[in-house]
């Protein structure tokens, strides 16, 4: 690895971004060196899967195949990220941004939905994922609010969870949402509704 790459990879967040960028640009050996240095629990299998997925996406976009096939590949990649322990939320956000910015495609809402679900288990990253909905032009829906509420409660941010519910459109609060919100509160030790 060159000394200039070592200079720019001093923080964990910077390293994560650098690994993603190197992999996207096809510099797998350098990406794996930094990846190994990071001591991440993500398996190499997942890393190769996501790299090959991104490469496949680039090929599909260039051939202008139907959106359904591309969306299936996107969602499949984010399902794999969700299944990692611990959840690869920052890696997923980096991949989401690369899809939007490099491929210039608006990913399906299932991608950030899976990342938001991952942030519940990870007990972090929900705010970053929430912001990606807005940046991608994806409107919040009932599932988004419910998942964000759950993620905030899981990370111990009970006041923010209450504030989120106060700002949720009243039309979203129906007979199906109320029991789910109460279940979230019960599961994560918050007695207020």
> Do 151 and 129 share a domain, yes or no?
no
In a domain, 75, yes or no: yes
pLDDT at 98 over 50: yes
> Do 96 and 147 share a domain, yes or no?
no
**pLDDT 10s digits, 128-168:** 999 999 998 899 999 999 999 999 999 999 999 999 999 99
> Do 133 and 148 share a domain, yes or no?
no
pLDDT of residue 99: 80
Write down which residue in 117, 138, 159 finishes a domain. Answer: 138
Determine the structural domain holding residue 26 and report its residue range: 9-138
> Do 119 and 69 share a domain, yes or no?
yes
Helix, strand, coil % in the chain, rounded to nearest 5: 70, 0, 30
In a domain, 2, yes or no: no
If we measure between CA atoms, which residue out of 106, 138, 42 comes closest to residue 116?
A: 138
> Do 21 and 49 share a domain, yes or no?
yes
The whole-model pTM stands at 0.65
Distance of CA 188 to the CA centre of its chain: 22
If we measure between CA atoms, which residue out of 9, 26, 37, 16 comes closest to residue 91?
A: 16
> Do 134 and 173 share a domain, yes or no?
no
**pLDDT 10s digits, 31-79:** 767 766 655 545 555 666 666 666 666 666 656 445 556 677 777 778 8
Under DSSP, the state recorded for 169 is -
Q: Give the span between the Cα atoms of 152 and 4, in whole angstroms.
A: 38
> Do 159 and 120 share a domain, yes or no?
no
Peptide bond before residue 89 is cis, with ω within 30 degrees of 0: no
The structural domain count of the chain equals 2
> Do 126 and 167 share a domain, yes or no?
no
């Amino acid at each position: 690895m060159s000394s200039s790459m070592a200079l720019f990879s001093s923080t964990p967040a910077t390293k994560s971004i650098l690994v993603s960028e190197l992999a996207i640009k096809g510099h797998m050996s350098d990406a794996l060196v930094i990846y190994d240095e990071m001591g991440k629990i993500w398996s190499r299998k997942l890393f190769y899967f996501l790299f090959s997925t991104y490469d496949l996406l680039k090929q599909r976009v260039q051939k202008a195949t139907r959106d359904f096939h591309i969306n299936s590949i996107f969602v499949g990649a984010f399902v794999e990220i969700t299944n990692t322990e611990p959840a690869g939320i920052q890696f997923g956000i980096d991949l989401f941004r690369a899809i939007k910015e490099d491929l210039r495609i608006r990913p399906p809402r299932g991608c950030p939905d899976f990342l938001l679900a991952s942030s519940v288990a990870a007990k972090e990253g929900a705010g970053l994922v929430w912001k990606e909905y807005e940046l991608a032009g994806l409107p919040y829906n009932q599932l988004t609010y419910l998942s964000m509420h759950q993620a905030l409660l899981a990370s111990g941010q009970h006041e923010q969870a209450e504030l989120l519910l106060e700002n949720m459109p009243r039309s979203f609060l129906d007979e199906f949402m109320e029991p789910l919100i109460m279940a979230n509160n019960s599961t994560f030790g918050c007695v207020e509704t």
